């Protein structure tokens, strides 16, 4: 058979313009959707039968009932006589309290360690490498249990460790001096946030001006004025007091100050150290992805070190860093659900208690999933927005 | 900021004239290249020395290594100043094999050896052939026979007596063995041109990845019995295994999707030009290339996944971490949990570290080509 033999006539088409491919596609889709629907209907009908047999009514009506479960450590005021709905809200607040603070601390620690791994100091880079390798290769749950055991093994409140004056570490947790925040203080903080927002807009305008004529304009006077001086003035005018409350040992426990319960503290340490090992690797690869020539070129131009880092290296490194960093933030948030293993009452732990008390398994798990899906979508939405802002614009 | 300013200095330091004692030269380039660097090195050395010294004191010098059977008094005497490693010889059989009948524990031990051999052979590039699949099927069948028994004169051991390291390895291995093909199907579905299949795949991946594994495990342990017809009851271990497979499938699907995207368009077109069917095109041309592209991230996913099997502790399945936690409930040994956790951490570390080294070597290998 030669290569230039005449082509066979095209296959006759059924269904007008429709070809075999479209028919096949339709067949597969109908098949897969049919199977999935069949499985869902099967599971659904079983569930309905089982629920009727066990006399469990479905629906979220139970959320209005009295919860009766104690919540030891909560950000929001809670009383066992509150409703299940409020218990869930308290749990969500507890989850967010771990996640937000954990993300901030893990980012700082991870960045420091990632930079240390690149240090010319052999000892520092080796130590950072050992830190990363060890923490990455041991399950988080094991690390969490380990920290929790260590917390419990700390001395009692009377014999608490005092690394710094006013800071106590004991089996009651970590107690720090704190400034009590009431509504007058909130006004000042609110002013500072407003100042920050205004400063952001002014800075954008300044950069736009610079884009037009190329002359750099200093933004720092606005920063000092709006973020420092304005709130300070408000504070003085309103006469807000910023006295630090020092914790005191009274009897068997501490009074005053800020208490981080052992469960919360252990969870925070475990999440921060574990996630920081992953963040360190992301930061390292991000910095290494900037070609060496960029450093050399900037040095040859005699640019200041801070300018070089801020304006040349960091923007390029961030493009590599931001997408995997998003997944680490999501992981940290999801991993905070391990709290259930040591009895810190996050949303998963509270949903689990609810489930055991009321038998409303489907609703409780649906609530957990809804909460985490919302948080995940929120974080990835924000990070995608940020990523789009810093992404390389090519032609 | 000293650390980051060091980066561009490194080549400059290396360019210094190479004279003098090599040890001194090494110290100068690597530890004392500048004054801040020197101070940092001294501080780090001091902290490190202090850390190592106190660990040696606690873990070796003051430690109790062996005690007479079930007697923890020697350990309690050194509590706070020395480690009690004696708890490991005392409890290691329970930690490794859980409540598996004591006299039959050679069977889970042999299963663990088989697992390790299986992993070892799977890492040999020369063996990446069809025979490897047969090896997997054969080894997994043999492990099932060993664990369950009931044939060849082995006594039957029901699943709720299994525990420890074999359970961890079973959850991880079966999770991957079934999660991997599932992941391939979902990844193909996500890239399919058929809208219904694509949306189902997206929904599956996003739902599973958006929620914590803990909630999937709760679902498996609490809701699964509700889903099934009454009277039909499947074992707790199997339920957790199903949750883990579904979880692994979603994560592996994303990794494989990355690989599929890396296969050049021309490869698909060439396969279409040859008139290959969809499945033959993917099996013979696209998937082998796609998977080769993503072997290092696949190994990283395996590591993450191996560690995540420890979460079954939360629904009360006796994996390695649960047996460790149970071993220290014994009042006589209660205070020595740190030692047990270190022992178990070392086991997990060995498995994960071996995998991460392997992934590193694969990366180096593929970089050469």
Decide if B6 and A119 are in contact by the 8 Å CB cutoff: yes
Q: State the pLDDT at residue B346.
A: 94
Residue A248 DSSP SS3: strand
**Which of B9, B27, B29, B215 to mutate: most A Cβ within 10 Å?**
B215
On whether any CB of chain A is under 8 Å from the CB of B233, the answer is: no
Nearest-by-Cβ selection for A348 from B48, B214, B227: B214
- The DSSP secondary structure of A121-175, one letter per residue, reads -HHHHHHHHHHHHHHHTS-HHHHHHHHHHHHHTSPPGGG-B-SSTT-EEETTEEE
Task: For chain A, positions 308-347, list CB contacts with chain B under 8 A.
Answer: 309, 334-335, 337-338, 340-341
Cα–Cα distance measured from residue B105 to residue B161, given in angstroms and rounded to the nearest whole number: 11
CB of B194 within 8 Å of a chain A CB? The answer is: yes
**CA-based R_g, chain A, Å:** 29
- pLDDT of amino acid A89: 92
Question: Looking at the partner chain, which of B30, B230, B335 has a beta carbon nearest the beta carbon of A49?
Answer: B230
Confidence of residue B10 (pLDDT cuts 50, 70, 90): very low
Interface predicted TM-score (ipTM): 0.87
Confidence at A6, pLDDT banded by 50, 70, 90: low
Chain A CB contacts of B41 below 8 Å = 121, 123-124
Contact between A363 and A58 under an 8 Å Cβ cutoff? The reply is: yes
Q: What is the pLDDT of residue B335?
A: 81
Among the partner residues B6, B197, B352, nearest to A28 by beta-carbon distance: B197
pLDDT at B358 over 60: yes
B13 confidence band (pLDDT: 50, 70, 90): very low
Kindly tell me if the per-residue pLDDT of B230 is higher than 80.
no
CA angle (B138, B143, B146) in 5-degree steps: 125
Task: Give the pLDDT score at B40.
Answer: 87
| Chain-chain contact of B310 with A142 (C-beta, under 8 angstroms) | yes
More confidently predicted of B132 and A351: A351
Phi, psi of B78 (to 5 degrees): -100, 10
| pLDDT exceeds cutoff 60 at A80 | yes
Question: In chain B, pLDDT over 70 holds for what percent of residues?
Answer: 93
CA separation for the pair B236, B216 (Å, rounded):
13
Residues of A in contact with B7 (CB under 8 A): 118-120, 287, 295
Task: Answer yes or no: is pLDDT of A201 > 60.
Answer: yes
- Give the closest of A116, A145, A369 to B325, CB-based: A145
A-chain residues near B9 (CB < 8 A): 120
Check residues B35 and B188 and name the one with the higher pLDDT: B188
Q: Locate tokens 């933004």: which residue?
A: A219
B139-166 pLDDT, tens digit each: 999 999 998 888 888 888 888 888 899 9
Residue A394: pLDDT above 80? no
pLDDT at residue A3 is higher than 70:
no
pLDDT at residue B359 greater than cutoff 90? no
Confidence of residue A2 (pLDDT cuts 50, 70, 90): very low
| Residue B9: pLDDT over 60 | no
Cβ atoms B117, B70 nearer than 8 A: no
Using CB atoms, pick whichever of B307, B314, B348 lies closest to residue A340. Answer: B314
pLDDT, one tens digit per residue, over A135-150 is 999 999 999 999 999 8
pLDDT class of B290 with cuts at 50, 70, 90: confident
Residue % of chain A over a pLDDT of 70: 94
- Chain B CB contacts of A376 under 8 Å are 209-210
Among the residue ranges A39-48, B205-214, B329-338, the one predicted with the least confidence is B329-338
Share of chain A above pLDDT 90, in %: 27
Mean confidence (pLDDT) of chain B: 85
Q: Which of B6, B44, B227 sits opposite A46 (nearest CB)?
A: B227
Nearest to B83 by CA among B325, B345, B333, B320: B333
- Any idea what DSSP says for residue B219? I
Residue A7 has pLDDT above 70, yes or no: no
Q: Is A384 on the interface with B (CB under 8 A)?
A: no
Tokens of B288: 């082998």
CA pseudo-torsion sign B318, B323, B324, B326 = positive
| Tens-place pLDDT, residues A164-198 | 888 888 888 888 888 877 778 888 888 889 999 99
CB within 8 Å: A25 and B30: no
For chain B, the first-to-last Cα distance in angstroms comes to 38
Handedness of CA B57, B58, B60, B62 (dihedral sign): positive
Q: Report pLDDT for B306.
A: 93
Compute CA distances B162 → B111, B112, B165, B313, B319, whole Å: 12, 13, 9, 14, 9
Q: Bridge-partner residues for B164, per DSSP?
A: B319
- Which of A52, A142, A156, A337 to mutate against chain B (most B CBs within 10 Å)? A142
Interface probe for B, chosen from A35, A37, A113, A121 (most Cβ of B below 10 Å), is: A121
**By three-state DSSP, how is residue B345 classified?**
helix
Q: Do residues B249 and B268 lie in contact, with contact meaning Cβ atoms separated by under 8 Å?
A: no
**Cα–Cα distance list, B144 to B115, B149, B159, B319 (Å):** 11, 8, 11, 17
B224 touches chain A (CB under 8 A): no
C-alpha A150: how far from its chain's center? 25
Q: Most A CBs within 10 Å: which of B38, B185, B212, as the mutation test of the A interface?
A: B212
The predicted model scores a pTM of 0.86
The two tokens of residue A68 are 């009766």
Which residues of chain B are within 8 Å of residue A28 when distances are taken between CB atoms? 194, 197
Residues in chain B: 369
Using alpha carbons, select from A283, A281, A275, A280 the residue that is nearest to residue A313: A283
Which residues on neighbouring strands pair with residue A178, listed in sequence order?
A: A245
**pLDDT band with cut points at 50, 70 and 90 for residue B2:** very low
**In the predicted structure, residue B224 carries a pLDDT above the cut 60:** yes
Number of residues that this document lists for chain A: 395
Q: Which long-range contacts (CB under 8 A, 24 or more apart) does A53-61 make?
A: A53/B230, A54/A359, A56/A359, A56/A360, A58/A360, A58/A362, A58/A363, A59/A363, A60/A363
What is the rounded (10 degree) CA torsion for B288, B290, B293, B298? -90
* Structure confidence at residue A194 (pLDDT): 92
Residues in chain A within 8 Å Cβ distance of B335: 153
What confidence tier does B363 reach under pLDDT thresholds 50, 70, 90? confident
Q: Report d(CA B180, CA B137) in Å as an integer.
A: 15
* Confidence at residue A10, expressed as pLDDT on a 0 to 100 scale: 56
B344, B87 Cβ separation under 8 angstroms: no
- pLDDT, mean of residues B213-232: 84
Residue A326 clears pLDDT 70, i.e. is over it: yes
**Cα–Cα distance measured from residue A73 to residue B320, given in angstroms and rounded to the nearest whole number:** 30
State CA B34 to chain mean position distance. 41
A74-78, A378-382, B229-233, range with the lowest pLDDT: B229-233
Q: Identify the residue with better confidence: A273 or A233.
A: A273
Contact A142 B348 (CB under 8 A): yes
Radius of gyration of chain B (CA): 26
The reported pLDDT for the residue numbered B1 is 39
Kindly state the tokens that stand for A325. 């960093």
Task: Read off the DSSP letter of residue A259.
Answer: E
Q: What is the mean pLDDT of chain A?
A: 85
- pLDDT for A8 equals 62
The answer to whether residue A339 scores a pLDDT higher than 80 is yes
**pLDDT of B15:** 52
Tokens of B5: 């300013």
Q: Which of A120, A334, A376 has its CB closest to that of B9? A: A120
Q: Do A362 and B223 touch (CB under 8 A)?
A: yes
Backbone angles phi, psi at A19, to 5 degrees: -105, -175
Q: What is the pLDDT of residue A24?
A: 79
CB B255 within 8 A of CB B183: yes
Structure confidence at residue B19 (pLDDT): 65
Give the orientation angle of helix A84-117 with respect to helix A122-136, to 10 degrees: 150
Per-residue model confidence (pLDDT) at position B253 = 93
List the strands of the sheet with A258-260, edge to edge. A168-170, A173-176, A258-260
User: If contacts are CB pairs under 8 Å, which of residues 16-45 in chain B contact chain A?
Assistant: 30-31, 33, 37, 40-41, 44-45
What's the confidence (pLDDT) of residue B16?
A: 54
**Residue A42 or B11, more confident:** A42
User: Which A residues in the span 246-285 are in contact with B, Cβ-Cβ below 8 Å?
Assistant: none
Please list, in sequence order, all residues whose beta carbon lies within 8 angstroms of the beta carbon of residue B203, skipping any fewer than 6 positions away. none
CB contact (8 A) between residue B226 and residue A139: no
Residue B319 pairs in a beta bridge with B164
Residue B133's pLDDT band (cuts 50, 70, 90): confident
Is the pLDDT at A163 greater than 70? The verdict is yes
Interface test with B, best of A141, A285, A348, A352 (most B CBs within 10 A): A141
Q: Each residue of B15-63: pLDDT tens digit?
A: 555 567 888 888 888 788 778 888 888 898 999 999 999 988 888 888 8
Determine contact: B49 vs chain A, CB below 8 A: no
Q: Which of chain B's residues have a Cβ under 8 Å away from the Cβ of A334?
A: 211-213
Kindly state the average pLDDT of the residues B350-357.
Answer: 92
Q: Please tell me whether residue A359 adopts helix, strand or coil conformation.
A: coil
> d(Cα A226, Cα B267) in Å, to the nearest integer?
59
What pLDDT does residue A147 have? 93
From residue A34, how far is each of B116, B156, B194, B201 by CA, in Å? 41, 40, 14, 14
Res. B108: pLDDT tops 80:
yes
What is the pLDDT at residue B369? 45
CA distances from residue B94 to A277, A355, B154, B159, B161 in whole angstroms, order as listed: 32, 32, 21, 16, 11
Query: Do A358 and A286 contact (CB within 8 A), yes or no?
Result: no
Tokens of A99: 């996640």
Give the pLDDT of residue A11.
56
């Amino acid at each position: 058979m030669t290569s230039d033999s005449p082509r066979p006539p095209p296959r006759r088409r059924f269904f007008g313009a429709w070809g075999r491919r479209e028919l096949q596609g339709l067949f597969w889709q109908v098949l897969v959707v049919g199977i999935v629907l069949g499985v869902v209907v099967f599971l659904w009908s079983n569930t309905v039968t089982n629920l009727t047999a066990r006399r469990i009514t479905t629906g979220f009506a139970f959320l209005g009932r009295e919860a009766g479960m104690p919540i030891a450590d909560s950000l929001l005021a809670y009383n066992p006589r509150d409703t299940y709905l409020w218990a869930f809200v308290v749990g969500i607040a507890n989850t967010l309290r771990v996640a937000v603070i954990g993300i901030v601390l893990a980012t700082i620690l991870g960045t420091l360690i990632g930079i240390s791994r690149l240090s010319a100091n052999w000892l520092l880079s080796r130590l950072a490498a050992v830190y990363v390798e060890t923490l990455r290769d041991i399950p988080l749950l094991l690390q969490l249990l380990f920290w929790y055991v260590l917390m419990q093994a700390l001395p009692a409140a009377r014999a608490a460790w005092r690394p710094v004056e006013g800071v106590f570490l004991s089996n009651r947790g970590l107690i720090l001096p704190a400034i009590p925040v009431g509504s007058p203080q909130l006004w000042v903080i609110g002013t500072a946030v407003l100042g920050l927002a205004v400063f952001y807009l002014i800075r954008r305008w300044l950069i736009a001006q610079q884009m037009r004529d190329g002359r750099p304009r200093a933004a720092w006077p606005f920063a000092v004025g709006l973020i420092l001086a304005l709130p300070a003035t408000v504070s003085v005018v309103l006469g807000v007091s910023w006295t630090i409350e020092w914790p005191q040992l009274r009897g068997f426990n501490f009074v005053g100050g800020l208490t981080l319960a052992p469960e919360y503290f252990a969870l925070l340490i475990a999440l921060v150290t574990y996630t920081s090992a992953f963040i360190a690797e992301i930061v390292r690869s991000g910095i290494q992805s900037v070609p060496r020539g960029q450093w050399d070129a900037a040095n040859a131009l005699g640019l200041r070190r801070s300018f070089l880092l801020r304006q040349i290296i960091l923007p390029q490194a961030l493009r590599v860093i931001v997408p995997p960093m998003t997944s680490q933030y999501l992981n940290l948030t999801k991993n905070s659900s391990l709290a259930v293993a040591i009895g810190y009452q996050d949303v998963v732990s509270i949903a689990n208690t609810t489930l055991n008390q009321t038998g409303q398994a489907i609703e409780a798990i649906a609530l957990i999933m809804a909460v985490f899906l919302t948080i995940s979508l929120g974080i990835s939405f924000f990070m995608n927005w940020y990523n789009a802002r810093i992404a390389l614009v090519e032609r | 900021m000293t650390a980051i300013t060091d980066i561009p200095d490194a080549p400059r330091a290396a360019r210094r004239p190479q004279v003098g004692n090599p040890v001194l030269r090494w110290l100068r380039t690597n530890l004392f290249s500048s004054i801040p660097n020197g101070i940092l090195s001294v501080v780090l050395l001091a902290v490190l020395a202090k850390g190592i010294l106190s660990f040696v004191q606690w873990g070796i010098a003051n430690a109790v290594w062996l005690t007479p059977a079930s007697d923890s008094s020697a350990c309690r005497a050194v509590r706070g100043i020395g480690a009690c490693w004696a708890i490991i010889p005392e409890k290691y059989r329970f930690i490794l094999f859980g409540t598996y009948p004591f006299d039959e524990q050679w069977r889970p031990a042999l299963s663990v050896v088989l697992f390790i051999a299986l992993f070892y052979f799977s890492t040999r590039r020369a063996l990446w052939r069809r025979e490897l699949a047969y090896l997997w099927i054969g080894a997994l069948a043999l492990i099932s026979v060993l664990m369950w028994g009931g044939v060849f004169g082995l006594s039957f051991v029901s699943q709720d007596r299994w525990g420890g390291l074999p359970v961890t390895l079973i959850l991880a291995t079966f999770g991957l063995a079934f999660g991997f093909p599932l992941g391939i199907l979902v990844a193909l579905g996500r890239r399919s041109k058929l809208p219904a299949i694509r949306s189902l795949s997206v929904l599956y991946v996003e739902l599973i990845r958006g929620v914590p594994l803990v909630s999937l495990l709760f679902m498996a342990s609490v809701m699964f019995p509700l889903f099934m017809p009454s009277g039909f009851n499947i074992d707790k271990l199997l339920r957790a295994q199903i949750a883990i497979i579904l979880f692994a499938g979603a994560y592996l699907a994303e990794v494989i999707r990355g690989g599929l995207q890396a296969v050049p368009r021309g490869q698909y077109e060439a396969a279409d030009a040859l008139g290959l069917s969809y499945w033959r095109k993917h099996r013979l041309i696209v998937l082998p290339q796609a998977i080769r592209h993503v072997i290092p991230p696949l190994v990283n996913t395996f590591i993450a996944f191996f560690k995540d099997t420890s979460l079954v502790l939360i629904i009360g399945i006796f994996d390695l971490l649960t047996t460790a936690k149970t071993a220290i409930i014994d009042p006589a040994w209660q205070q020595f949990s740190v030692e047990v956790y270190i022992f178990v951490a070392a086991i997990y570390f060995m498995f994960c570290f071996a995998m991460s080294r392997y992934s590193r070597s694969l990366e180096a290998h593929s970089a050469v080509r």
